[in-house]
């Protein structure tokens, strides 16, 4: 039965960057890989079948497996992976996977959505201009860290399809865009480095593309601005030595008018303290 299901899954993912790592997929687990991000995820058969047995909503999948030992209909596979995402099985089965999916204090309807695994990080951002996603795709470097603004990767879609309303792995992602980070040499992007580089990347976007992107995600349609948009090339940028004021600035950009004043004030205060300390020496 498992062999038949593996065959169905290989066919399902055949036109995507997701593949089954057959060196590690066996009677105990599925190991999914993403060729573009080089991220891998484990899913254990025991947990999958437990969910199918326990949840009433898996009725169609359960009957298909019990009667034929297959789930070769695309709708069944879509439903299965949607439920695995919704139930948090990726996080449960992959201890080194770090997920962000919580509310931003600055907005009533916005939240952080992203993940880190295998030296790769990817987060949701949202365009605020009335142009196609194709026009917003860009990339640049901060030291040896590649920053890409693009459609969500296939592994991102798998992880979050059960959390985002009305999405599946294959459809309803045409209006989504993410920011991803990975080092372009043999060194590794560590979890503790993610925020440092992410904040710098958001700062660069706010400078080069003002009023074009906003960090985080929302279930509501964010108000679009009809501004004169022109794509720019940021190139390779030197890493900043002052991360704290960058964080304050990004918070100010992503805040309401009431809280933005505070964050921009904190930027001024930070550099005032530096200058004051220099003058007092």
Mean pLDDT (whole number) for 3-15: 85
Pairing of strands 120-127, 213-215: antiparallel
DSSP state of 128: -
Q: What is the pLDDT of residues 107-133, one digit of tens each?
A: 556 678 899 999 999 999 988 778 788
Run of H or E residues at 183: strand 177-183
In tens, the pLDDT along 184-217 reads 878 899 998 988 898 888 888 888 887 788 887 7
What is the reported pTM? Answer: 0.78
Give the helix/strand (H/E) hosting 10. helix 2-12
Strands (DSSP E) along 35-190, which ranges? Answer: 39-44, 98-103, 110-117, 120-127, 138-142, 145-150, 177-183
């Amino acid at each position: 039965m498992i062999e038949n299901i593996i065959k169905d899954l290989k066919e399902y993912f055949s036109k995507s960057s997701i593949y089954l790592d057959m060196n590690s997929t066996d009677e105990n687990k599925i190991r999914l890989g993403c060729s573009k991000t080089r991220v891998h995820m484990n899913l254990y058969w025991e947990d999958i079948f437990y969910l199918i047995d326990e949840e009433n909503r898996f009725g169609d999948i359960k009957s298909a497996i019990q009667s034929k030992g297959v789930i070769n209909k695309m709708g069944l596979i879509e439903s299965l992976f949607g439920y695995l995402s919704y139930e948090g099985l990726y996080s449960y089965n992959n201890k080194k996977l770090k997920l962000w999916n919580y509310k931003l204090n600055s907005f009533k309807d916005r939240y952080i959505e992203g993940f880190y695994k295998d030296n790769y990080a990817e987060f949701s951002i949202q365009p605020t201009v009335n142009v196609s996603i194709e026009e917003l795709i860009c990339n640049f470097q901060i030291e040896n860290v590649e920053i890409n603004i693009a459609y969500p990767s296939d592994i991102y879609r798998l992880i979050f399809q059960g959390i985002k309303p009305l999405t599946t792995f294959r459809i309803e992602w045409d209006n989504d865009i993410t920011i991803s980070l990975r080092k372009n040499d043999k060194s590794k992007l560590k979890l503790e480095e993610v925020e440092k580089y992410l904040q710098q990347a958001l700062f660069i976007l706010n400078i080069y593309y003002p009023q074009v992107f906003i960090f985080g995600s929302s279930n509501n349609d964010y108000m679009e601005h009809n501004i004169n948009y022109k794509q720019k090339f940021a190139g390779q940028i030197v890493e900043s030595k002052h991360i704290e004021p960058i964080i304050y600035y990004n918070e100010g950009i992503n805040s309401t008018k009431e809280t933005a004043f505070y964050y921009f004030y904190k930027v001024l205060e930070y550099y005032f303290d530096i200058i004051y300390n220099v003058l007092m020496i």
